[in-house]
Each structure stands twice: as C-alpha cells, then as structure tokens.
Structure 1
Amino acid sequence: MNSFDFRGLSAFPLTPTSEAGIDERAVAIMVERAVRAGVDSIGALGSTGGYAYLDREQRRRVTRAAVNAAAGTPVMAGIGALRTLHVRQYADDAQAEGAAAVPLAPVSYQRLTDDEVFGLYEDISAAVSVPICVYDNPATTGFAFSDELHAAITGLPNVAAVKIPPAPAEDAAERITALRNALRPGTVIGVSGDWFAAPALNAGADAWFSVVAGVFPGYAVAITRAALDGAESEASRLSAELEPLWALFRRHGSLRVMAAAGELLGLTAGPSLPRPLRGLDQDARHTLEDTLRRLGLLR
C-alpha cells in the first residue's frame, strides 16, 4: 500500500456532464483552482463527480484529467458500482491512471446485507495496491453502516479511512469519539455534509471531503486550517458565514447547487448534469446567485 494520507481537506469537483459527454477541460480547471488554493487532495469521481452516471471510459478520462491537472497533489478516484466485477475494473483503471487512493461506496439496486457489504470490501481490499476509503453515504446508496461493520471493514488490508455522513452539530464530539473507539487505531475519519465539517473537525475528525472546495476552495481551506490548528471558534465563524449556502445545499442537494455555481462562475457551460438530473429552477438559481454575491463568492 502506498503512503497516501487522507488527512486534511479533499476537494470534490464536479464532472460536468451533458448528453453530449463529459467536459474534461472543466474538470481540469476546477482541479487546478483547488490545487492553487492549497487543498491536500482531490476527490475525483465522488458523488459530486457523478461517478454513478459515467461509463468505464468516461471514468478513466476524468481520473486522467484530474491527475494531470493536480500536478502532484494526490488524487482519489471513486470506484463504486453495482457489481464487484465492475468495481475491480474501475479500481484497476484508477490505479493505472495514477490515482493515489480509491473511495468505495456500496452501490446497490437490491438492498445489500452487512455480509455482502463486508464481502465487497474484502474482495476489493485484496485486489488493490492503493488505500481504500469506506464511502458511507446512505443518502445515495440507501445503506447505513453500523460502527461494528466499520470496525470489521477497517480490519481488512488496504482499508485506511472512512467517510461518514453529517450528524447534528451538537452531536459531533460524541459521534467522532464513538467511531474512533470502534475503528482500528490509525484509521482516518473523514466527514461530508459541508455544514457538518467545522463541528466535526473541531471534535477531532481528521479530514473533510468537501463539495464546496470543488468550486470555492479558498473558504474550505480556511475552515480546515483553522480547525486543524486548534482555532475552533474561527473555524465555526467561517462555517457560519456560509450558512446561507449550506441551507441551499440541504434544500436542493449540494450537487445541483454546485453545478449551478460552476455555470454562474463560467467554469463550465450548462447543462452540466446528466439526465434525468435537472439543474436548479429559475427561482432557485436566482436565489443562489444572490447568495453567492452577498457572500463575495460571485462578482
């Protein structure tokens, strides 16, 4: 296993996708912006990167574009798929294209059992030479990990991190502590749900897998550095400033909001979401534009 460290801030950029194909140039632009802002890694082909909507060749091209644009900053490349056979193929491709790690979500159509999910990670951990992050995202997969299952999976070779979904801010310390006590020592705990990042980092989480950092990396870098440097009140203050944006994430979904933001910034042309996904309606887009202007994120 290589020495990739999941700690710190990982920016999860969009993969702008229309019915005509993917916009690799836009992927590269967003990766370059994040790298210049000082993120610790790039998370290509996460949920924001639309991995579930892309075929094998498109995934390869996105990973290649991200690795090339990252210019030495490590890149994670998501490998989730319905069948273990395909997960293994995507893992092989990600490694061949230079990915330093692979987040893996238990994607399903038939509801998976705990034994089946453990078996997925068992099979893939034996097949890869780069670290795996257990990608716990019940909002999209429909599967909820128990801490006991997380503990069993992190006992497998090559499994080095878990990414957990958001919890209420007031429960952050209890959630991080309970999970830390369950996992193999040294396992990195990463968080998603951008509004949960500051409370979780302040409570001892190691990493933030950030949607907003894919389009507005500067703010995410500032929040992460403050939290990891022990400036808890500053991290909380900076996150609170973005609450109008977090509210739009919770209302419309962060993917739709960031797709519209990328279009408003001119980072990609619209439409940038694959059908059947639809972008924000006109009213929501105007609200987003006003919000970004008030926050100083759009001029």
Structure 2
Amino acid sequence: MFHGLSAFPMTPLNEAGINEKEYVKLIQRLVAAGVDAIGALGSTGNYAYLSREERLGVLQLAVGSAEGIPVMTSISAIRTLDVLRLAEDAQKAGASAVLLAPVSYQALTNEEVYLLYQQVTSSLSVPLCVYDNPGTTHFHFSDELHGRIAELPHVRSIKIPGVPSEPEAAKVRISKLRALIPSHVTIGVSGDPFAATGLNAGCEAWYSVLGGLFPKTCLRMTRLALDGCADEAEQLSARLEPIWSLFRQYGSLRVVSAAAEISGLISSPSLPLPLQPLNLSAREHLKSILADIQSIEGS
C-alpha cells in the first residue's frame, strides 16, 4: 500500500460536529476511482482537532466504506501515551497502516524522536509510515535519523515534505535518502506541487491532498510518472499550477475545503474554529480553476 497514490480526504466538520454522511461520500469517491490507498485523518483530515473518540469514529467510517482498499490513519499526538492508545484503536478498527509525525509542544531532540518511533513500533502489528512534516511539527529529520528509524520493525515508508524543483537536484535528494534506508522502505512525496518531480525522481508513492478530492486526476499523474512518462506527468502538474499556487498562499486544507464546498461535495462551514475559510476573492478565483480540474477529472 506504500506505492502509487495514497489519497487523503478531508474530514468535514464544524462546531456542530463531524458530517459523517459527507465523509463517507468522499471515501466512496476514492473507492470508485480505484486509488491505491486511503489516508484517513491526515493533516487534511483534521486529526489534530478531534478527540480520541472522534478519531476512532472517523476511522471506522473510512475502513467500513473503503471496500478493501487499504486505509492508513494518523496516530500522531503530543504525548507518547496517547500515540500508543491511538495505535491500539487503529489496529482494532482495521487500519492497514498507521502514520506518525513527531508532533510536540516542547521542541524534540533527535534522540527523543527516535525513542518515540522505537516505542511505538515495538507494539505494532501493522506497518508504519514516518511523517516528515516540518511545517507543522517544526522538527527537521536528518537523513541519518531517517536511516535509523527505517531499521525499526514495521517501518515501511517515509513521507517526505517535498523535493527540490529542479529534476536533477530532486534525483540527487532521493538517491541520498535511498542510500540510507532499507530497500523495503518506500519513499513517498507529499506537498502536492512537488509530486510529479518527486515521482519522476524516484519516489514510489504520492501522499496527496488533492487526490482526496480529485482522485482520477491525481491517479493519472501518478501512473504517468511511475510508468516513465516524466514529461507527461510534469505537463499535467503544470496544468494544475493555479491550484498549487493557492495551496502555497492559503494552505492546502483551506483550499481543498473550499473546493469541496464549491463542487457540492460537502456543506459549509466545513472547518473547525479557529480556522477560517478562504476569503471571497480567493474563492472566486478557485471557482475558475476548478472548471479546468473538473474537466480533467471527467475526461
């Protein structure tokens, strides 16, 4: 499940609670497209705004609606005790894998992060994906630390935040990391604007925000890159540059939630406070962008 497109749907929620019917419809959309895996409760899935009980409920909905497509879920939390409890919940709910970022309030040291993964993997019965997300965690993995963690039991993938934009530099980046981790551990790119370049550079998976909403488009780009059609993959990514630009300016969660609302897939409001939706100007710009993406999705 750590190859190809792993689509991360958002979790529609507001102060009234989680909209379970809309969430299930988003999962069914991914199933119909035939994504390689579903990433429940990632950053786009609003895991950080949910209680343990709410996270379990959302995961159960995802697994129950996935029709056999493997589901990976975040178990990230500030305290190791809570991570372990979330891991137990995930395994009982039937998750095929777990995703763990070293989130914290106090800044973590390299050794503290290693010990976190060591303790968690020692009690797992499912694979784990390491989530390298410095924009959120403010922790920067070294390649050497990735190499140490990748040797732990059950570690099967590393979700990196992006790659250099220049193709040859991206290949060097992936080759350097690949040299330090076991062959059974895949490298997956996140940060959607980097996806085509990362896949063309040797990443085996794309952990995608946009794929959670427009899976056919993202599957096409993934398949093109993994089949060696590098130019075609980059051309498709270039066509998506307008939404990548909005991602960079406003954050992917705000943009995707607005896109889902505009597309009639979820109702408004769909973000937990204190998060605010896109402003009206950005929303109008997004409407024009979505017309092109929807034409790709339907073709």
Shift of 1:42: 0.1
Shift of 1:234: 1.1
- Alignment partner of 1:261 is 2:256: no
Q: Give the aligned partner of residue 234 of structure 1.
A: 232
Q: Give the aligned partner of residue 177 of structure 2.
A: 179
Q: Is the 8 A contact 2:196 2:233 kept in 1?
A: yes
1:38 and 1:240 map into 2 onto residues whose CA distance is: 24
One of 78, 81, 105 as aligned partner of 1:82: 78
Other structure's SS at 1:169 match: coil
Letter in 2 for 1:193: G
Number of residue equivalences: 295
- Alignment partner of 1:197 is 2:195: yes
Shift of 1:294: 3.8
Q: Is the 8 A contact 2:3 2:186 kept in 1?
A: yes
Letter in 1 for 2:51: D
One of 47, 51, 57 as aligned partner of 1:51: 47
One of 272, 287, 290 as aligned partner of 2:288: 290
1:172 and 1:31 map into 2 onto residues whose CA distance is: 32
2:182 and 2:156 map into 1 onto residues whose CA distance is: 9
One of 18, 22, 25 as aligned partner of 2:14: 18
Shift of 1:137: 0.5
Letter in 2 for 1:201: L
Q: Give the aligned partner of residue 135 of structure 1.
A: 131
Structure 1-normalised TM-score?
Answer: 0.96
2:74 and 2:153 map into 1 onto residues whose CA distance is: 18
One of 39, 50, 66 as aligned partner of 2:62: 66
Deviations 1:155-190 (A, max 9, x none): 111111100001322131111111101112221100
Q: Is the 8 A contact 2:12 2:22 kept in 1?
A: yes
Q: Is the 8 A contact 2:9 2:40 kept in 1?
A: yes
1:296 and 1:267 map into 2 onto residues whose CA distance is: 13
- Alignment partner of 1:6 is 2:18: no
Letter in 1 for 2:50: L
- Alignment partner of 1:27 is 2:19: no
1:206 and 1:24 map into 2 onto residues whose CA distance is: 32
Following TM superposition, the consecutive aligned residue runs of length 4 or more in structure 1 with deviations greater than 6 angstroms are none
One of 101, 119, 124 as aligned partner of 1:123: 119
**CA RMSD after TM alignment:** 1.2
Q: Is the 8 A contact 2:40 2:71 kept in 1?
A: yes
Letter in 1 for 2:200: N
Matches within 5 A, 1:138-217: 138-170=134-166, 171-217=169-215
Letter in 2 for 1:78: S
Gapped runs of 5+ residues in structure 1? none
Gapped runs of 5+ residues in structure 2? none
Letter in 2 for 1:20: A
